[in-house]
Every structure is written in structure tokens, then in C-alpha cells.
Structure 1
């Protein structure tokens, strides 16, 4: 009977045993290091990892060490290190700002759900959401989808009251008729103060309204009448988002307010920019299209535009450097996009939609409105992108603009053409980082002392993000 076959040898064990014998086949004595080499390696690796951890975490707030304090052997290494450092930080900044929800995650705004006769019913007239006073519509729409919106009013910092008061257009002249504004707003406040406890607990100090008319919450297009009527008593403790603003004491801004730009359709601007690039050819030196009376009419004891537009027309209508038109033209934005300087004189009120259109389309705005206060100065450096001419100097416009063109025009245009300026002055249906509604939220975050739920975290967080 054959002997059973033995299992084959373990080759790994066999090789290890061969290594332990010398050429004479006698076992060698293991050295001390050989016996404990695994322990030495383990100890060295542990010491290295522990040291790395200590160095990394010993840096306060886990910030990268300063490149200026790091020894770098040559310039190429310096550039490489700096590039890596800046690339890493750029990535982190992009991640922290890419989501518009993150920049104000602690700010909470409750939007009242009012009956449609206060707002959306007015949208049956398409013009309601597109004319120069339509910021009341745009801000409402943007807040409805914004991450700062809360459906829990008890956690809200502010309360937005969406009442559209500029959508009732006169059948006589087609302009907004705002005579109903006071009664409509009073009715809305009566409703929310009856159904909710939030108005009564603060007297409305944390409630936000939009008054995008000539003289803001005075709700009148004529200054004398606006001042005589004043701001309604029921709004005097609230926060008003308004287009009217001057840098001196005025009864129509004697209320907590945020100065906002007039509404210009971002879609119309985008279409114009696509056809007439901001840095394209500009064949018009000075442009203005709008109301200019040859013989100004005295209305309620006051001349329109304080006669500024009349002086412009009389002196420069025959000047070949000036492209002045008194009649409306649907495609006038294309004229702005072709112009170097765009005149922005006051009308009945100091502000004008031409301010926004000029900036958005890359035409240097020439502001002629003494004492005007301009929107969002923390985002738009007006002194670097525009010119200001005193009303009394309007007859010197030609010489003033020729001088600028010969000296620092290119610098002004370089500053003006930064896309951030356009972004900051345009309202969109959704809040975008840096856009006009974003700027409104930025301003509200500085007014948390008006809120019943006061907090200090939002303002600080926003400042660090910007």
C-alpha cells in the first residue's frame, strides 16, 4: 500500500528559515536591533505623526502660517508657495460665498401673506412690475424665495409688508397715481395688527415697507405737497426702503430708512449689453433724452428740474458734442450704451432712473442734483465712477466734460465698468450675491436694534463675509 503523500512545505516558512542560517547551515545569532526593529519603526512613525499633529494644531484657529515668515530657498519656490496659498484660499472663499444662503444664514425675515388686493392683483397690468417704481414688486418676489425668509414669525428679525402702492396708473397721463397709498397701507397695518401680535409689541419698528416714489413715504410727487402731508404717523417707527434721499435734513426722510435704487429691468439691460458691449465703440460724447421745456411751466409755484434741464436745452441743443432729445424712444438704452457721458439731472425729485441705466450700460453718469444721497455707497464707489456738477454750473458742462475727457476719463471708465457696480443696482426675482436686494439685506442686518428679537451675530457674520 502506497504511503500517503505529505502536504507540501510552507514556502514562506522555508524561506525565512533559510535566511536564519549561514553558509555552513548553522543558525546565526540575531542582533538586538534585528530583534526589535519593528518596535523601533513603530516608535519612530508614532513620534513623527504626533509631531505633525502638534505643529498643525498649535497654529491659532488652524490658519496657514505666514509666507513671509517661512524660509524659502529660491524665487521659484516662493511663487509656487504663494500660488498654492492663494489658490487654496480662493477655493475656500468661493465655497463660502457661492451659496447665497450662507451670507445671511442668521437673518430671518417673515413676509406677510396679505390678501391679493394689496399686491398681486395689481400685476394684471404688466407695467406694474417693470416701471421705475417696481422695486416694491421685485423685492417682494426675491424675498419669497430667499433663504432669509422664515415661516415662523416668532423667530423673525424683521417683518416685510408687501403692499404695492405704485401700480395704480392714471388714465390721464399714464403715470402712477399714489393718492390711495396712505389708505391702502393703513388698511394693511390694521389687518396685520389685528391678526398677528408682532406689530403691536414693537409699534412696527421691525416692520419693513417699500416707498419707491419721488418723495418716499410722504407719498406725493410734488415736494411742497409731500412736505405738507408728511410721513403718515403709522409709518414713522418702521423701516422704509425708499429711492428718495438727500444729505441734509428733510421731512420725507425723517424715518428709519434704507436708500435703494429705482427699478430698471435687468432683462432689458442684458439685451442691450449683448448688442452693445460695455467696452464697445462710443460715438456719442454727451447724451440726454427726456423732458426739457423750452419755456418751463410754473407748477404749484415750482419750476420743473429747477430749470436745470431748460438751461441744458437752451445752451447745448445746437452743440454737436451734445446728443439731446426731448421725446421718448423705446430703444433709448442703445443710445446710452453708445455714449461717453450721460446727463442725470434732477426732475421733480433729485433721483433719476438714468443713474442706474448709465452705470449698468457703462456710460459715465453726470449727476446734476444738489445734495442728492446715492444708494449703497458701501458697494458702489460713486466718487470713482461718476461726475457731480453743481446745478449753478450747468451752463459750464461743455468745458467740464472736455476737461475730464482729456485727463482722467479712462480711469473713471475702468472703475465704472466693473460688473459689481451693475450687479449692486439691479433687482432680480431671486436674491443673488451682491445684487440690489442683497444690498438691502446687508443694510437691514445693520439695523437689528430695531428688531424685537435682537441679535449681534448677523451683522458681524455679514461683515466678515464681505
Structure 2
């Protein structure tokens, strides 16, 4: 089952199509129409909202996505694109698609290997407990290393393009842009025709700094910048128009990044958006978008207390810990029920001056991670570093790398309605389960570390792998 993503206009080459080809297009349209009625497919539309567009890209639907949750690395290989580009471009595209087809087949084959517990390659040991399908993930990762190529657009000027924040709350945004634009990694290619995906290296955080007028809440300048950037690359290069941006991606950790992406409706609806603000109730689509971990690096470095947490058997006297200001709908509920109410749950709005934040995490078995105004929280990654079990208190948050990671193997999710029962829930975690969660934290930590230079399986590579998965589920041609 597929979603049909339709092109934004009729090009000059389409106008010249023969009557026979036009008839075939009409047949395709009729088939898609009745298929939409039968299965309630969702179609992306252009500015003109025309009823008929030529299908050029096909994506996998939720039905296919959930058919086998343990083999999400490859969701479908039944593609039948109808519109073919020029001969030269078709040859390049066919070569790329043939390589992707081989990758899909290899991953599907690996996905049947359900009994392997460890994978050891070049001294890389992957714990099977934290992955939905460890064999599928490992094979997918190897295929990515072997094949995946990213073209970074050179258009745009500093500081908004080709730069971003590399410390503090938006670290993951700037560090990825810097590594993709300036780093010495195997994935970037200068040959745009050989690329699988195309990266637009603008920083929404820097847009807010340089374009937004404080206290106006007018986000139009951000949308206008994005609109102008897409117009620039789509008029200068053929790649955006080939898929209406479906094989393009942006990345941002700023809360307003989803709003900025509204500057172009195809970027919003069709492109891959890598976002910290991964709220499925506000337009984030896990089928095509990627959840970006939010990581707060003061001064650009991990706090020394979190670099080497205590041994797994170290005594942790606090049951749970949270300290943070009141903003958003969830934290007031947490503070209302537990602030200063129980000596086992150290819940603060403001941390006492004589108490260190990271010491409190290291001394706690569970770290409470409630959303603020937006769903993401840097406390989740901090808890992973501290080997303090993250307790995720959030609505509609699509957790990072959840295509391949079993978050239940190293965290606990508590419904907002169950916050009054929080102590009962945490006390109900057996010692055996707690130690398994701790073991899972230690195994998953490598996927949330920002290394310089980058290392296999670290956060940079996991972000790229998430993009790679979405490119696997896209057929261009």
C-alpha cells in the first residue's frame, strides 16, 4: 500500500507527451482515485490545489509500516513509478535505485535472523536487547556505510546557512550542520547526481537570532527565508523539482523549526524534516520525518560528572529526581502532586543552592523527564549519560531513533493521567527489571554521544541512519 506524492506542476516535457502516454496517465489517475476512496490515502497538494498531478514518488503508508514492526528498516519494495526523467538522469537514478533495492533485500534477509544476541565487527559489540530487530539494524547500518551519499547545497550565506549553534540547548543542530558541511565523513559527496538525499544546511536557530524581532511572535521572516531558499535551489538545480523535495532534508532543534518549514508546503508535507520538536499532534509525520535528540552541552562539552557515571551496583539513595521551571501543561501537574510532598521523590521547581543538578541525577534511580511547551527535553539524554532511568512524561512525543530502538528496554513512559500514581509505578519496578534497564542505558549511550571526530554508531551516524531509512522507503524514477 502506498501514498502517492504528486508533482507540483506540468512541465514542458509533459506537455509534449503523446496521446497514448496521456491516456496511460489518466488510467493511473483513475486507479489512484478509487484506491484513495477505498483506503483513505492522503495526497500532498501543490499551491494550485489542482485535482490531477502526475505521480512521481511513492512512499509507504502506516499500514505497511505497522505490518511488521520488527523490520522497520525496510517497509516496502513494490514500487511502480510512472514518470521517467531524461535518459542521462534516468541512468543515474536507475543505478542508485538498483543499489537501494539490493540494500533492501539484504536487510530483509537479515531481519529473519532473530536468534542472534550479539554482533561483533571491528570490535563493535551491539547489545541485542535495545533494538527492535538487531540483525536488521546492523545490516541496515552496514548498507548505509557502504552506499549512502549526501549532497550538501552550497547556496546560502553565513551566518544563517552553513553554520549553527554548537553549544548549549541547540547543540545537536549546529554540530550536525558543521559535520555535514565541513567534516571529513564518508557520506558527503560533491557529485550531486550520485547523491541519495540532498541536505539544506540552514539553521532555524540562527534565523531566529538574526531575522526575528523579539516579542513580536511574527514568524513570517523565518518562513520567507525558507521559501526563498527552496526557490533558489529549485531554480538552480534539477533535484528538488524531480521529487518535489521528497529526497531533501532539513535539520533543526529550535522549537519554531516546524513553523519555519511551513515556508514551503512541499518541504513541510513531503521533505524529510529532522526535528527536536517531534510532536505528532502538530504535523510531525514519523513516516517521513526524523526525531532529533535534544542535547544541552554547556560550553559545548559534556559535564565531567556524566562522562563516567558510577558503577551499575553503586547505591542511589533517591527514588526519583526532577528540577525545572513551570512551563507547558505537564510540569504544573508534576509539581502540584510531588513538589516537596515525598522524601523519596526529589521534585523541585528551583534546585536548592547547595545541591548540584548532576550529582542529584547520579544519586537517583529514576530521572523524571516531563515536556515543557514543546515535547523534547534535554533531560532524556542527560539521564542516559547519568545512567538514571529516564521516566518520560509527554504526550505525542515521537522518541528519537524509535525506528530501531526499543525505548522500553532503557526507559519508562508514564501517562500524564498517572502522575498522581508516580511513586507507586516506580516502586513497582522490580530489582531485576531495574538492572535490565540500567544495562540497556549503558548499551544505548553510544547512540546519543556527539563525538569530534565522529565515530561509528554515535549520534551523528544515528541521525543519518534515520534519514537513510526514509530514503530506503522512497522510490524515485
TM-score by length of 2: 0.61
**Count of aligned positions:** 336
Cα distance 1:169–1:118, how it changes in 2: closer, same or farther (>3 A)?
Answer: closer
Q: 1:137 aligns with which of 174, 178, 201?
A: 174
Counterpart position of 1:30: none
Local SS of the residue matching 1:166: helix
Cα distance 1:90–1:339, how it changes in 2: closer, same or farther (>3 A)?
Answer: closer
Q: Does the alignment pair 1:389 with 2:414?
A: yes
CA distance in 2, matches of 1:438, 1:142: 11
Local SS of the residue matching 1:314: helix
Local SS of the residue matching 1:323: strand
Cα distance 1:374–1:449, how it changes in 2: closer, same or farther (>3 A)?
Answer: closer
Instruction: Report the Cα offset of residue 234 of structure 1.
Output: 4.1
Counterpart position of 1:400: 425
Counterpart position of 1:351: 376
Counterpart position of 1:25: none
Greater CA deviation, 267-276 or 209-218? 267-276
Q: Does the alignment pair 1:434 with 2:434?
A: no
Q: Is the 8 A contact 1:157 1:448 kept in 2?
A: yes
Larger Rg: 1
Alignment of 1:149-168 (within 5 A): 149-167=188-206, 168=208
Alignment of 1:208-357 (within 5 A): 208-214=249-255, 216-219=257-260, 232-235=264-267, 236-246=269-279, 250-253=282-285, 256-265=288-297, 268-269=301-302, 271-274=304-307, 276-277=309-310, 279=312, 280-292=314-326, 304-306=327-329, 308-318=330-340, 319-327=342-350, 332-357=357-382
CA distance in 1, matches of 2:122, 2:379: 38
Local SS of the residue matching 1:441: helix
1:37-62 C-alpha deviation (Å, 9 max, x unpaired): xxxxxxxxxxxxxxxxxxxxxxxxxx
Q: Is the 8 A contact 2:219 2:259 kept in 1?
A: no
Greater CA deviation, 274-283 or 128-137? 274-283
Alignment of 1:186-197 (within 5 A): 186-197=227-238
Counterpart position of 1:19: none
Instruction: Report the Cα offset of residue 311 of structure 1.
Output: 2.9
Instruction: Report the Cα offset of residue 122 of structure 1.
Output: 6.1
Q: Is the 8 A contact 2:306 2:358 kept in 1?
A: no
Instruction: Report the Cα offset of residue 342 of structure 1.
Output: 0.6
Q: 1:415 aligns with which of 440, 443, 450?
A: 440
TM-score by length of 1: 0.62
Instruction: Report the Cα offset of residue 424 of structure 1.
Output: 1.2
Local SS of the residue matching 1:340: strand
Local SS of the residue matching 2:205: coil
CA distance in 2, matches of 1:281, 1:179: 52
Q: Which protein has the bigger helix share?
A: 1
CA distance in 2, matches of 1:451, 1:92: 31
CA distance in 2, matches of 1:258, 1:378: 9
1:7-31 C-alpha deviation (Å, 9 max, x unpaired): xxxxxxxxxxxxxxxxxxxxxxxxx
Local SS of the residue matching 1:428: coil
Cα distance 1:276–1:410, how it changes in 2: closer, same or farther (>3 A)?
Answer: closer
CA distance in 2, matches of 1:230, 1:191: 16
Structure 1 residues not aligned, in runs of 5+? 1-88, 220-228, 293-303, 455-466
Cα distance 1:379–1:142, how it changes in 2: closer, same or farther (>3 A)?
Answer: farther
CA distance in 2, matches of 1:287, 1:94: 33
CA distance in 1, matches of 2:401, 2:337: 34
Q: 2:154 aligns with which of 113, 135, 140?
A: 113
Local SS of the residue matching 2:428: helix
Instruction: Report the Cα offset of residue 169 of structure 1.
Output: 4.4
Instruction: Report the Cα offset of residue 110 of structure 1.
Output: 0.7
CA distance in 2, matches of 1:166, 1:388: 29
CA distance in 1, matches of 2:121, 2:171: 37
Local SS of the residue matching 1:213: coil
CA distance in 1, matches of 2:262, 2:230: 18
1:144-203 C-alpha deviation (Å, 9 max, x unpaired): 4210110111111111110011133499999x9966421222222222223322222322
Instruction: Report the Cα offset of residue 305 of structure 1.
Output: 3.2
Local SS of the residue matching 1:131: coil
1:210-265 C-alpha deviation (Å, 9 max, x unpaired): 1323365234xxxxxxxxx9674141221111123356x64343882112211343
Local SS of the residue matching 1:273: helix
Please give the root-mean-square deviation of Cα atoms over the aligned residues, in Å: 3.8
CA distance in 1, matches of 2:162, 2:322: 35
Greater CA deviation, 378-387 or 160-169? 378-387
Bigger RCO of structures 1 and 2 (CA < 8 A, at least 6 apart): 2
Cα distance 1:346–1:92, how it changes in 2: closer, same or farther (>3 A)?
Answer: closer
